[in-house]
Copies of this chain bind each other. A is one copy, B any other.
Amino acid sequence: MSALPDALQARKQPLQSRSKATVDAIRQASFQVLIAHGLDGTTTTRVAERAGVSVGTLYQYYRNRSTMLAGLLEWHLGTVAGAVEDASARMRGAALADAADALVEAFVSAKLEHAEISLALYAIAEMHGGAELIAAAKLRMETAIAALLAATADARFDDPQAVAGVLLGALIGPMCDVLNAGAPPARVALLRTQLTLLARGYLAAARVPA
């Protein structure tokens, strides 16, 4: 029921447009089923049924159930990591406080955009192999943030990578809490302001004194 696959690669590349459509349908179905029935309720038959294909077809595109689930996690992580990378690139050279604000905004928005999925995916993350996927995505974000910190207009850091890692982790924790609570608007607003304070405060404390 858990354990991500030997090979996380899908079985065949969806080059043809029909294949592409099938794969997309399966992904969509997976998300819906995952959200509605939880990880253990996400059976291959149920996903196939929801996607309007047969189980056999599903297995034509994914080596096994784990591969399929891993695909979901990867897709989501890519989205969030991309958002953070974009923000980091955009703010290169800006003032520290502005960079912090932009990072928080980018991260929170990306997560909220796929709130339900994001929540459901935590279960997949616990599967064997999920940690690696997450670590990889975190590394992408960490590196982007570290570069931003190194290129900031008004501050210097001894170990930008470490600071970036801690900052990222610190944003994720409270974010999860809010998602778990169902992301009510009031809490989301509070989260944005507090995470901004957190990011600014931490970075100010961690920077090399001028």
Which residues on A are within 8 Å of B, measured CB to CB? 1-3, 38-41, 122-123, 126, 128, 131, 135, 138, 159, 162-163, 165-166, 168-177, 180-181, 190-191, 194-195, 197-198, 200-206
Residues of B within 8 A of A131 (CB): 180
Residues of chain B within 8 A (CB-CB) of A122 are 126
Copies in the complex: 4
Mostly helix, strand, loop or mixed at chain A's interface? helix
Instruction: Kindly state the separation between the CA atoms of A14 and B184 in the bound complex, as whole angstroms.
Output: 41
Q: Which residues of B contact A138 (CB under 8 A)?
A: 177
A176 in contact with B180 given A39-B2, A201-B201, A201-B202 (CB within 8 Å)? no
Please list 14 pairs of residues, one from A and one from B, whose beta carbons are closer than 8 Å in the complex, sorted by A's number.
Answer: A1-B40, A2-B38, A2-B40, A39-B126, A135-B181, A162-B190, A162-B194, A166-B191, A169-B177, A170-B174, A173-B173, A197-B206, A198-B202, A198-B206
